[in-house]
């Protein structure tokens, strides 16, 4: 059985601290925890208001490919539902099904992106207590490991490539129960 990162109050506090950093301009979160999503959307709205940028360009959010059981658009947020499983992001919270290859983060050519099966990230949260890697500092938490790349920060917001119309509304991101009419 593949583990997911357990959602604990310590994890919520860590994510709250990380998303305030200038080196977190995007988040990929495969979980459906409403408390964390409200916090992420609040940060997205705050940054979009402060910068005048589209919400996904100010603070890119990517959810699980299966959608969410609530609609962040109701709170004013934009969340991308990836068709590709997951998107690259500055803060990448690894789903249990996604490959993680710590040996790829070893040695002089190793990177956190390589260890994350070639999905770019600056911070990587992984379930369990995982080994140290040459390419990142490691912080162990309550059932998870946070890696921080030791390389200079490079944004990993794949959503910056998207173009938005000024009148465009956020897409539905909620789970669908079957063959429903739109």
Q: Which two tokens stand for residue 95?
A: 């789903």
* Block residue for tokens 């979009």: 48
pTM of the predicted structure, to 2 decimals: 0.89
36: tokens are: 């964390």
Residue 137: band (very low, low, confident or very high) from pLDDT cuts 50, 70, 90: very high
3-state class (DSSP) for residue 77: coil
pLDDT interval class at 61 (50, 70, 90): very high
Average pLDDT, the chain: 87
pLDDT per residue as tens digits for the range 117-130 = 999 999 999 999 99
Q: What angle do CA 100, 102, 103 make, to 5 degrees?
A: 125
């Amino acid at each position: 059985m593949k583990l997911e990162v357990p959602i604990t109050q310590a994890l919520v506090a860590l994510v709250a601290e990380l998303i305030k950093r200038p080196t977190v301009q995007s988040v990929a979160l495969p979980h459906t925890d409403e408390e964390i999503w409200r916090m992420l959307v609040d940060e997205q709205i705050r940054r979009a208001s402060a910068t005048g940028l589209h919400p996904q360009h100010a603070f890119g959010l990517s959810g699980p490919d299966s959608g969410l059981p609530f609609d962040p658009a109701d709170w004013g947020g934009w969340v991308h539902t990836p068709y590709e499983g997951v998107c690259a992001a500055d803060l990448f919270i690894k789903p249990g099904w996604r490959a993680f290859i710590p040996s790829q983060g070893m040695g002089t050519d190793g990177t956190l992106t390589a260890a994350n099966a070639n999905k770019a990230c600056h911070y990587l949260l992984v379930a369990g207590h995982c080994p140290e890697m040459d390419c990142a500092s490691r912080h162990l938490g309550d059932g998870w490991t946070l890696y921080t790349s030791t390389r200079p920060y490079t944004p990993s917001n794949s959503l910056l490539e998207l173009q938005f119309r000024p009148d465009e509304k956020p897409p539905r991101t909620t789970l669908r129960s079957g063959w429903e009419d739109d």
